[in-house]
Structure 1
Amino acid sequence: MIRRYARTLMPIAVLAIGAGMGTAVYSGSAAAETTDVVRSGAADDTYSSSSRPSYNFGSSTTLVAGRQGGDTMIGFLKFTVANPGAGATVKSAKVTLTRESKALPGSISLSRVADTTWTEKSLTAKNDPAVGAVIATAKPSSSATSVSFDVSSVVKGAGTYTFAVTSKVSNSPARFRSAEAATGAPALDVTVARAATTKPTESSPAPSGPATTPSGPATTPSSPATTPADPGTCTAGAKLVPTCGVLWGAAAGGFSDVPRDEALKTFEAKSGRTSTIYHTYHKGDELFPTKAEIAMTNDPAHPRTLMLNWKVGYGTKWANVARGDEDARIDRLATYIKANFNKPFFMVLHHEPENDVNPAAGSGQTAKDFAAMFRHTALRLKADGVTNAVFVVAYMNYEKWNNTSWWGDMYPGDDVVDWVGVDTYNNAQPGGFHYGDFNYMMNRTNSASFPGFYNWATTKHPSKPIMVAEWGVYDSSPTVVGKNKADVYATVLPQLAKMPQIKGLVYFETAHDQSGHDIRIDDTPEALAGFKKIAADPRFNVKL
């Protein structure tokens, strides 16, 4: 789920283009190749103001660019593009900014910036980088929702790229949403072409979707199939590990303004099952669980446990958290939890960290910095007397991250990790990128050195239960076909039975994620019918 400008006239933003979320948008497939769009969020973003030369706006949820009276404001963005993989070709690239408020000026230009060393926490008008040549100019309507710039002439592959957006329009500065905003963060879409592969049979226990590079399928889990649990016999034991069966849950209403508790109840009504796990997200100084979240655990007819996702390092770096700079933030949350909530709950510390890794030594955001941040936060909370938190480390299941030299360095240690989690999504478009069955969703790989997530977790951390902290299915076919999702859903139960270490299954539902995917369970009647068959299975009858 994706994890953020030099100056002339009315500059709007400098963008350093990068890997960001690594989420893929799928634009189709042909006989010889498939095309997907990898969307990245900005690694840094901020703006400078000539009338406030010493001000830093790195924590602002808004990027302001342009002229207002005698003030010239310049926005800055940074993205880092990862290697798209062997045999992949970058076809095009564009940067998109979402209007935050006010009318847009009639002309906005994106320029390249040579300096890539600036950071959002240190940039001011006194040190902002120089603006280079204009790459693209947009002439949006004043009420346009977003503005896009073609950067294909610059983005040719892996690397860090910086840009500035400028405008000559006076007294009409643009206001865009920054990476710190809840929605509409700056995005870089890189269209990549890859060699097509054939579809394997869905009944096979081996991965049934095409790998991102033709280096071979994942290995098959060797665990024997397990039978569904008997209704009423399974309970949540120590560390919320079910004595039998699988915990069922959802995070609903993502990327929308619908309250999460309301969205979850709607999801439950559609699916026909109450969620045992209610998954929500928090960051920085937010105190949680909220009253609304606590109320969901107190429903006498349908009690739920919470999975609370916290980006404790929001607004700073992992290394800073690890060295104690945010101990006051951690202690404040600990005091709140002890005073307001005493039931066991799952705590995920900075889910999908791969998006935010900067492997450069001293960046404060290396994989080892993440592990240190996780360890420090978990141990600090425990020392503060928080005894009801069950800690989950939640990875992205994306090949380009699993293949990096640093991916293994992110694991914080068995002593502070209670569950190993993963966020993973499948495409239901036959032959599309990341198309496959449930086993492929859990075990896809394109490298002989990585056996697939489930196989990795069960081999490296055999004592840890696996939490599928987010999962979902979308159909990127040009015309959505109801049967497609239903076919993928039909593989879940028989293949889940062969993965006994999976003890939690939490669906992420949204009508439109940051890449445009529709992950609703009911986008077609066929999809809903297929999902309801999963939800009705007795193995999810775990009592809290």
Structure 2
Amino acid sequence: MKPLTVWRTSRRRVRAGVLTGLLLLGLVSCSSGGDEAVVQVWDRSSSSPSPSAPGTEIKAESKETYLHPDGQYFGVSTFHAPARATTAAAYRASGRHPRILSYYQGWKQSFSASDAELSYKQGALPLLTWEPRGANLARDQPQYSLKRITSGYYDSYIIEFARDVKATGRPLALRFAHEMNGDWYPWSEVNSGNSPGDYVKAYRHIHDLFQAVGATDVIWIWSPNALRGAKGVALKPLYPGDGYVDWVGIDGYGFGETTATEVLQPTLDEVRQFSDKPVLLTETGSSPGSQQPGWTADLFRWLKATPNVIGFVWFQHSVDEGGQYDYRFDINPTTKAAFRHGLDSLHLRSWPLA
């Protein structure tokens, strides 16, 4: 089992009810920007500026700076990411600035430079999960098969996407077809008419097209699911090779386990048999229950104690927002306390004020 990822468009809006409530509290100001509201949030609970505070100047960072961080990453995935309101909410709940904002995009959608720019303006690296499927959640979608991608059928789309990424002139973390070792997505080698070996060919094909157009500021993330959720599937045959990967991502959730270590360590052990690339937990969180605070505390112990793990992205979604469970760390006060204490125990990347 895994969390349900909701496919959504690249244009995101702040829900009217949430925005109205914030306006009534006097916490936001809005100005029109096209057909979307631009939300600026003031954090009254802290003397430091929120990620969206007016006048805050964020320093631009190079790909090399992101690749070799001076501390571990704290990242979040929220339903409306990278909207300012949700980033500020994560900041208020955690007391720390997220340095990665993770969001998702379906296949054949154009690259959204505005989403990436919104991430940069909040001091965060945009982490885009690029899902080769249509707007539904069916496991079998032969029109998006890995063979079709490798054959060149989608080359014009991929090249346009890569050129748009290049045009930003800024780094982008790109996670193509994550959790490929599971059987719940169309790009699994057991679905959509795919065969063993097809995943690596498709991944390399896309990578090579980006290189050909000069989109070299991409941080490539290869991101399997934790072994516990995909038993019997070896990871090495799905690995494109160190020349095609900058970071290894691991998606690992607690579904009743008492520790994060028992979820994450076996996967890391297998990865280390074929790659020493830095590891980022690209999705993590724990299902609610009496075990959740302890699981969360152990996650931070594991992060602190495990070499070459450069951080994590918490899946801050409720069930209504696409989570299989309500993974939000601030719903349970004890979990929230464990989360904040855990962040304080890590040496995190600093927020890049100019």
TM-score, normalised with respect to structure 2: 0.73
Q: Does residue 152 of structure 2 align to residue 324 of structure 1?
A: yes
Structure-1 residue corresponding to 2:219 = 390
Whole-Å separation in 2 of the counterparts to 1:293 and 1:237? 14
Structure-1 residue corresponding to 2:285 = 472
- Distance change >3 Å, CA 367–CA 407, structure 1 → 2: farther
Gap runs ≥5 in structure 2? 10-60, 135-142
Whole-Å separation in 2 of the counterparts to 1:325 and 1:334? 16
SS of the equivalent of 2:273 reads helix
Query: 1:165-314 residue pairs with structure 2 within 5 A?
Result: 238=64, 240-253=66-79, 258=80, 260-261=82-83, 262-299=85-122, 303-312=123-132, 314=134
Whole-Å separation in 1 of the counterparts to 2:71 and 2:98? 14
Whole-Å separation in 2 of the counterparts to 1:313 and 1:330? 14
Whole-Å separation in 1 of the counterparts to 2:231 and 2:72? 26
SS of the equivalent of 2:242 reads coil
* Among candidates 163, 166, 188, match of residue 335 of structure 1: 163
Gap runs ≥5 in structure 1? 1-21, 25-38, 42-178, 183-234, 444-451
Letter in 1 for 2:344: A
SS of the equivalent of 1:381 reads helix
How far off is 1:440 after superposition?
1.3
- Distance change >3 Å, CA 332–CA 312, structure 1 → 2: farther
Whole-Å separation in 2 of the counterparts to 1:399 and 1:413? 23
How far off is 1:489 after superposition?
1.9
CA RMSD of aligned residues (A): 2.7
How far off is 1:238 after superposition?
2.5
Contact 2:8 2:104 in 1 (8 A): no
Provide, for residues 222-246 of structure 1, a one-character-per-residue CA deviation record: whole Å limited to 9, x for no partner: xxxxxxxxxxxxx987372334421
- The number of residues matched between the two structures is 287
- Distance change >3 Å, CA 180–CA 244, structure 1 → 2: closer
Provide, for residues 151-191 of structure 1, a one-character-per-residue CA deviation record: whole Å limited to 9, x for no partner: xxxxxxxxxxxxxxxxxxxxxxxxxxxx9788xxxxxxxxx
Q: What is the percentage of aligned positions where both structures have the same residue?
A: 19
Query: 1:55-454 residue pairs with structure 2 within 5 A?
Result: 238=64, 240-253=66-79, 258=80, 260-261=82-83, 262-299=85-122, 303-312=123-132, 314=134, 315-339=143-167, 341-353=168-180, 354=182, 355-356=184-185, 357-359=188-190, 364-399=193-228, 401-404=230-233, 407-427=235-255, 432=256, 435-443=257-265, 452-454=266-268
Query: 1:12-23 residue pairs with structure 2 within 5 A?
Result: 22-23=1-2
- Distance change >3 Å, CA 289–CA 239, structure 1 → 2: farther
Letter in 2 for 1:497: K
Contact 1:320 1:326 in 2 (8 A): yes
Contact 2:2 2:324 in 1 (8 A): no
Whole-Å separation in 2 of the counterparts to 1:239 and 1:349? 22
Q: Does residue 327 of structure 2 align to residue 499 of structure 1?
A: no
Provide, for residues 115-136 of structure 1, a one-character-per-residue CA deviation record: whole Å limited to 9, x for no partner: xxxxxxxxxxxxxxxxxxxxxx
Contact 1:313 1:321 in 2 (8 A): no
Whole-Å separation in 2 of the counterparts to 1:398 and 1:461? 16
Contact 2:248 2:279 in 1 (8 A): yes
Whole-Å separation in 2 of the counterparts to 1:534 and 1:332? 41
Contact 1:237 1:243 in 2 (8 A): no
Letter in 1 for 2:334: E
Letter in 1 for 2:128: L
- Distance change >3 Å, CA 295–CA 400, structure 1 → 2: closer
Structure-1 residue corresponding to 2:16 = none
Contact 1:276 1:304 in 2 (8 A): yes
How far off is 1:391 after superposition?
0.4
* Among candidates 477, 486, 497, match of residue 293 of structure 2: 486
Structure (1 or 2) with the greater helix fraction: 2
Letter in 2 for 1:23: K
Whole-Å separation in 1 of the counterparts to 2:133 and 2:150? 9
TM-score, normalised with respect to structure 1: 0.49
Query: 1:506-517 residue pairs with structure 2 within 5 A?
Result: 506-512=313-319, 516-517=324-325
Contact 2:62 2:170 in 1 (8 A): no
SS of the equivalent of 2:336 reads helix
Q: Which entry has the higher C-alpha Rg, 1 or 2?
A: 1
How far off is 1:304 after superposition?
1.2
